[in-house]
Amino acid sequence: MHRELTIDGMFEKLIAGDRVALSKAITLVESSKEEHQAKATQLLTKCAERDSKSRRIGITGVPGVGKSTFIEALGLQLIANGRKVAVLAVDPSSDLTKGSILGDKTRMEQLSADANAFIRPSPSGGALGGVARSTRETVVLCEAAGYDHILIETVGVGQSETVVHSLVDMFVLLVLANAGDELQGIKRGIMEMADMVVINKDDGANAAYTKMAVAGYAQALHMFPAKESGWTVPVLTCSSTELRGFDEILATAEQYFALMESTGRLQLERAEQSRFWLYRAIDEELRTRFLHDPNVQHQLEVLEDKVALGKIGPFEAARELLRNWNQIN
Amino acid sequence: MHRELTIDGMFEKLIAGDRVALSKAITLVESSKEEHQAKATQLLTKCAERDSKSRRIGITGVPGVGKSTFIEALGLQLIANGRKVAVLAVDPSSDLTKGSILGDKTRMEQLSADANAFIRPSPSGGALGGVARSTRETVVLCEAAGYDHILIETVGVGQSETVVHSLVDMFVLLVLANAGDELQGIKRGIMEMADMVVINKDDGANAAYTKMAVAGYAQALHMFPAKESGWTVPVLTCSSTELRGFDEILATAEQYFALMESTGRLQLERAEQSRFWLYRAIDEELRTRFLHDPNVQHQLEVLEDKVALGKIGPFEAARELLRNWNQIN
């Protein structure tokens, strides 16, 4: 049924901006089959040889903050400015819920109909490491296909923010201006990752609280150590439904990228991210192999309980497990 | 030269509170020699069988905040209340600087002379994993020797705070009341780990700023999500030189431990910590073995450069490295 395409053929179509070829290429990198992985590697190597000046932007925020509406408005504005936009999502829970996968496309109606936008739901695929890998490789494919702005949404489940933060150049935290404890819903550590805080839904009843919220977030951000780049994290406001505030958001993003590029930090951080994923992929695979060993599995169950009860120290338990693994490897 | 002691003999002396035996036992767990490790395991297993109701408290703060003076004052107050106090340090840099090792003992003059205090400098020993292991095992030995309060100082270098945080029941952040940007010197993420913030040096010229600093820290702490235990992180003040504030600090610590014990969280968090160290020890050892493979070493050098330059994806590079390792293992 599935017509075979050579990797060279797929690559040519991909760099010509063919959306079907891009979709197929993404399906290829998402596949865990050995033969697909080999082909994906070939394709990615060809893509990596091309220079791309893309901007990778991560977007996070608690459920209900309006991420999809914001991304749609931002994407349409970018396209109006002559850009090509790819929207990806990292949702390690998508195997279970499915909802969010379909949700994105139907919610971003206008953007998904635009010829200069490409929307791809989160890969399903178990471990976060797997989702991270396919998303990162999908970014490379989208860039080769000419998309110069890659927006990656995190659903805020598990470690998804940390993953997205390690995949992008700029991390945007979307928040609401509610009265009172507006920060309480935000997960630990997220605020520190943000390169820009945007108060969404600056309209209707919320608008009354916006000024106070801007001051509150600015103060909270001031509590954190300065960014190494020297960048001061701004607090901006917007209304995704009334389409206000996006000019300023994009102008500020422009300043951010100008700073990151002129200081060489953009390249530096991408190189750091690549090294991070290299070692993380190695660690994950080593642990998987270790834990899949039947001898280890059995012994680990027993030892983990003893460790949790304090009947054996964790380091001794690790030593014992590794000693036994040694004997059979 | 070194008189051999059986493990049973060492254990008996240890639980009788013999300080020399405790020192020797710590030297044993700190040793990386295979035969010492085997003996250490025997000893630790015997110690782990004993029930101990100790309190493990971590203390962090930037250089100059007065950690040693604070720990000495806190330790002396605990001893005055009938407690036995062990003071440990986690200093992954101690191999290089040495200074801090000697420093501790000379600085904590009064405490180190007290029969109910036991002070042990940071183990030297390369990787942070190694330092963590010996410190954690030293805690077990000190508890078996009857020390009911274990104070662990972090020097704030590298990942030492994270390590100490994963070794203790309560984490105290020591700060100063300076005018202005008092939070700027604090490393990312440290504030969120704190179970108690103490403003030290509430004396002399600093005292004028204390009230403002208390309000500032309380506000900053309010920005973080609530602790799972329901504990509200308090901001207290003290003067380690004028010995003021320690009654309140200890009374608040009492409340903290009462909450943690009555809700079962103390046990739960210790079990979680043990599991964390089990898996971390496994990961570290697996990575060490992998990276020590000469074939891997050579190939990694080449691939890491290519990854950093974006010429090959990190996941592909990992796959290639692991494929080759497979062939020879």
**Mean per-residue pLDDT, A158-186:** 79
3-state helix, strand and coil shares in percent for chain B, rounded to the nearest 5: 55, 10, 30
Same domain? A165 vs A19:
no
Is the CB of residue B322 less than 8 Å from the CB of residue A282?
yes
- The one-character DSSP state at B196 is E
User: Quick one: how far is CA B154 from the chain centroid?
Assistant: 6
Residue A96 touches chain B, beta carbons under 8 Å: no
| Minimal Cβ distance to A282: which of B183, B271, B290 | B290
Region at B64 (left for phi over 0; alpha for psi -120 to 50; beta for the rest): left
List the CATH number of the domain containing A81.
Answer: 3.40.50.300
Which structural domain, as residue segments, surrounds residue A314? 293-328
Q: What is the pLDDT of residues A221-244, one digit of tens each?
A: 877 778 889 999 999 999 998 999
Query: What is the model's pLDDT at position A100?
Result: 46
3-state secondary structure of B295: helix
Residue A127 touches chain B, beta carbons under 8 Å: no
B323 vs A282, A293, B320, CA distance in Å? 11, 17, 5
A248 vs A149, B1, B216, CA distance in Å? 17, 75, 31
Same domain? A134 vs A245:
yes
Helices (DSSP H) in B152-293: which residue ranges?
160-165, 190-193, 207-222, 246-262, 265-292
Which of A120, A203, A128, A116 has the alpha carbon at shortest distance from A165? A128
3-state secondary structure of A119: strand
| Minimal Cβ distance to A136: which of B185, B315, B317 | B315
- Taking 80 as the threshold, does the pLDDT of residue A312 lie above it? yes
Contact: A283, B283; criterion CB under 8 Å: yes
Query: What is the model's pLDDT at position A1?
Result: 41
- Taking 50 as the threshold, does the pLDDT of residue B132 lie above it? yes
Strand-pairing partners, residue B200, are B176
Is the CB of residue B196 less than 8 Å from the CB of residue B253?
yes
Q: Which of A42, A53, A137, A278 to mutate to test the interface with B (most CBs of B within 10 A)?
A: A278
For residue A227, what are its two tokens?
Answer: 């960014």
**Mean per-residue pLDDT, A118-131:** 78
Query: What is the model's pLDDT at position A160?
Result: 84
Grade residue B4 by pLDDT with cuts at 50, 70 and 90.
low
**Mean per-residue pLDDT, A110-130:** 83
Q: Which of A28, A49, A70 is the last residue of a domain?
A: A49
Same domain? B32 vs B63:
no
Pairwise CA distance, residues B204 & B158, whole Å: 32
In a domain, A288, yes or no: no
Same domain? B120 vs B237:
yes
**Higher-confidence residue: B269 or A102?**
B269
A26 vs A30, A127, A174, A262, B99, CA distance in Å? 6, 18, 28, 32, 55
**Higher-confidence residue: A93 or A97?**
A93
In a domain, B93, yes or no: yes
Number of domains in chain B: 3
Same domain? B297 vs B164:
no
Residue with tokens 């993953």, as numbered in its chain: A163
In a domain, A267, yes or no: no
Residue A45 touches chain B, beta carbons under 8 Å: yes
Task: Nearest chain A residue to B139 by CA: give it.
Answer: A313
> With contacts defined as CB-CB under 8 Å, which chain A residues touch B45?
312, 316
Residue with tokens 């990312």, as numbered in its chain: B188
Same domain? A68 vs A148:
yes
Q: What's the mean per-residue pLDDT of chain A?
A: 86
In a domain, B227, yes or no: yes
Q: Which of B49, B68, B87 is the last residue of a domain?
A: B49
> With contacts defined as CB-CB under 8 Å, which chain A residues touch B276?
314
Q: What is the pLDDT of residues B21-59, one digit of tens each?
A: 999 999 999 988 888 988 999 999 899 888 778 999 999
Same domain? A106 vs A198:
yes
Same domain? A176 vs A324:
no
Q: Strands, E, within chain B: which ranges?
A: 55-60, 85-90, 117-119, 149-154, 170-176, 196-200, 235-237
Same domain? A38 vs A4:
yes
A119-133, A144-158, A307-321, B138-152: the lowest-pLDDT one? A119-133
Same domain? A42 vs A59:
no
Same domain? B45 vs B56:
no
Q: What is the pLDDT of residues A244-291, one digit of tens each?
A: 999 999 999 999 999 999 999 999 999 999 999 999 989 988 988 898
Percent of residues, chain A, with pLDDT higher than 90: 50
Contact: A314, B275; criterion CB under 8 Å: yes
Sequential DSSP letters for A94-109: HHHH-HHHHHHHHHTH
- The one-letter code for the residue type at B164 is V
Task: Nearest chain B residue to A329 by CA: give it.
Answer: B329
> With contacts defined as CB-CB under 8 Å, which chain A residues touch B312?
45, 48
List the CATH number of the domain containing A26.
Answer: 1.20.5.170
Query: Chain A window 267-306: which residues touch B at a Cβ cutoff of 8 Å?
Result: 270-271, 274-279, 281-283, 285-287, 290, 303-304
Side-by-side strand order, sheet with A117-119: A117-119, A85-90, A149-154, A55-60, A170-176, A196-200, A235-237
What is the least distance, in Å, from the CA of A187 to any CA of chain B?
7
Size of chain A, expressed as the number of residues it contains: 329
> With contacts defined as CB-CB under 8 Å, which chain B residues touch A321?
282
Same domain? A86 vs A160:
yes
Residue A56 touches chain B, beta carbons under 8 Å: no
What is the least distance, in Å, from the CA of B183 to any CA of chain A?
6
| Minimal Cβ distance to B318: which of A185, A219, A282 | A282
> With contacts defined as CB-CB under 8 Å, which chain B residues touch A140?
313
In a domain, A106, yes or no: yes
Pairwise CA distance, residues B181 & B187, whole Å: 13
ipTM: 0.80
Q: Which of B218, B244, B262 is the last residue of a domain?
A: B262
In a domain, B210, yes or no: yes
pTM: 0.78
**Mean per-residue pLDDT, A109-132:** 84
In a domain, A269, yes or no: no
**Higher-confidence residue: B62 or A20?**
A20
**Mean per-residue pLDDT, A24-37:** 90
Residue B228 touches chain A, beta carbons under 8 Å: no
In a domain, B20, yes or no: yes
- Taking 90 as the threshold, does the pLDDT of residue A131 lie above it? no
Find the Cα–Cα–Cα–Cα dihedral A173, A175, A181, A186, rounded to 10°: -40
